[in-house]
């Protein structure tokens, strides 16, 4: 069984990986075996490929990539009750220790012992099959495609970010950054009730994609237009109720409070490898609330429900699909950061 293996920084190969086949021979009583169908390429997968590490997580041994996945259940453990062979599913990639303090408090995503696909030393799922707990595997309605289901993982980040902001109907939002996470955050913000969401970027093509998602999204090209002036002009000088920072750029993050209304909320989404400056004075005079998110918790079923009902449409974000045989090429293209692409996906042979 071939897997897409990151051998070390800059070196990918499609090859057999007997260790994972051996490790997953046995199926636990509460586990299911899944035949993978579609896997999205995440910025984190690409970052491990091009840098060999993300912060403290270092690729010291060959690691299988991929964590945004959908597939079909092909075998169920003896005690599995909610899933059956043939069910189409998507999977939450982070499995916490059920007995940890964080998990018992309901914040399993910040369990220090969470095992998350394609985060060293845990392997990802760009391989034909995987074994996963029933509790983190979610059945898909017939009208949600495998491609949409593989978007649930990034969408979950946006939904968690909207939840943390406590969006109220009619709120004005700003999303900084029109990458995949910025765009799913804008979609989640609208689904949560925002009347308007300003989406910023420097790449014209990404802003075109953003604008096409909804008439309630206003693209702002910050290379040409002043975001703060625009938001203030449209809100009688008041500002936006929520600002989501999804660029991971220290420069953008330094300005997060400027477009924010008094009493507003800033949600930091973009990863910052180094400490960044923070305008405490600007936050203070607004009594700004600041939230940070780490992945997500308890939102996969909500995302599936929104895709099924049509509340959220992620299809326009899927801009390219590759065959599994071409997955090394797919990563080379993804690493070149083509401006017209949002989400690239890989389809496994069925
Ligand atoms: Zn991801």
Domains, the chain, with CATH or none: 2-151+314-347 (3.90.180.10), 158-292 (3.40.50.720)
pLDDT score of 214:
98
User: Rg of the Cα trace of the chain?
Assistant: 20
Q: Look over the chain and give the mean of its residue pLDDT values, rounded to a whole number.
A: 97
Q: pLDDT (tens digit, 9 = 90+) per residue, 249-289?
A: 999 999 999 999 999 999 999 988 889 998 999 999 999 99
Coil/strand/helix, residue 139: strand
Residue 149 scores a pLDDT above 90: yes
CA of 261 to the centre of ligand 1 (A): 31
CA of 182 to the centre of ligand 1 (A): 12
What CA–CA distance (Å, rounded) separates 4 from 52? 15
CA of 52 to the centre of ligand 1 (A): 16
* Strand partners of residue 258: none
Tell me what the mean pLDDT of segment 157-176 comes to. Answer: 98
Q: Which helix (H) or strand (E) holds 349?
A: none
CA of 91 to the centre of ligand 1 (A): 12
Q: pLDDT (tens digit, 9 = 90+) per residue, 289-338?
A: 999 999 999 999 999 999 999 999 999 999 999 999 999 999 999 999 99
CA of 181 to the centre of ligand 1 (A): 9
CA of 341 to the centre of ligand 1 (A): 15
What CA–CA distance (Å, rounded) separates 158 from 269? 9
In the chain, the percentage of residues whose pLDDT exceeds 70 is: 100
User: Exposed, middle or buried, 311 (CB in 10 Å: 0-12/13-18/19+)?
Assistant: middle
pLDDT score of 320:
97
Residue 3 scores a pLDDT above 90: yes
Q: pLDDT (tens digit, 9 = 90+) per residue, 167-219?
A: 999 999 999 999 999 999 999 999 999 999 999 999 999 999 999 999 999 99
Query: Do 196 and 215 touch, CB atoms closer than 8 A?
Result: no
pLDDT score of 278:
83
Residue 236 scores a pLDDT above 90: yes
Residue 21 scores a pLDDT above 90: no
CA of 39 to the centre of ligand 1 (A): 10
Residue 226 scores a pLDDT above 90: yes
């Amino acid at each position: 069984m071939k897997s897409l293996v990151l051998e070390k920084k800059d070196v990918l190969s499609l090859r057999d990986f007997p260790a994972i086949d051996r490790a997953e021979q046995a199926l636990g009583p509460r586990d299911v075996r899944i035949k993978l169908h579609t896997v999205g390429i995440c910025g984190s997968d690409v970052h491990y490929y091009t840098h060999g590490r993300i912060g403290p997580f270092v690729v010291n041994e060959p690691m299988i990539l991929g964590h945004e996945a959908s597939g079909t259940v092909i075998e169920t453990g003896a005690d599995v009750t909610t899933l059956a062979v043939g069910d189409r599913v998507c999977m939450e990639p982070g499995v916490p220790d059920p007995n940890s303090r964080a998990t018992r408090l309901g914040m399993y995503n910040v369990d220090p012992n969470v095992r998350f696909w394609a985060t060293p030393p845990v392997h990802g799922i760009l391989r034909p099959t995987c074994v996963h707990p029933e509790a983190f595997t979610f059945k898909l309605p017939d009208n949600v495609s495998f491609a949409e289901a593989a978007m649930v993982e990034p969408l979950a980040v946006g939904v968690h970010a909207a939840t943390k902001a406590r969006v109220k109907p009619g709120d004005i939002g700003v999303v900084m950054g029109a990458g995949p996470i910025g765009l799913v955050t804008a979609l989640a913000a609208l689904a949560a009730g925002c009347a308007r969401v300003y989406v910023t970027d420097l790449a014209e093509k990404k802003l075109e994609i953003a604008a096409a998602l909804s008439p309630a999204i206003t693209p702002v090209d910050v290379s040409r237009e002043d975001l703060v002036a625009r938001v203030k002009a449209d809100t009688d000088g008041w500002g936006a109720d929520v600002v989501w920072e999804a660029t991971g750029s220290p420069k953008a993050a330094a300005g997060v409070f400027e477009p924010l209304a008094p009493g507003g909320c800033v949600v930091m989404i973009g990863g910052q490898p180094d400490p960044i400056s923070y305008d405490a004075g600007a936050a203070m005079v607004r009594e700004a609330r600041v939230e940070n998110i780490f992945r997500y918790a308890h939102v996969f079923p909500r995302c599936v429900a929104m895709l099924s009902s049509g509340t959220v449409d992620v299809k326009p974000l899927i801009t390219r699909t590759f065959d599994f045989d071409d997955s090394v090429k797919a990563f080379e293209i993804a690493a070149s950061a083509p401006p017209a692409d949002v989400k690239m996906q890989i389809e496994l042979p069925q």
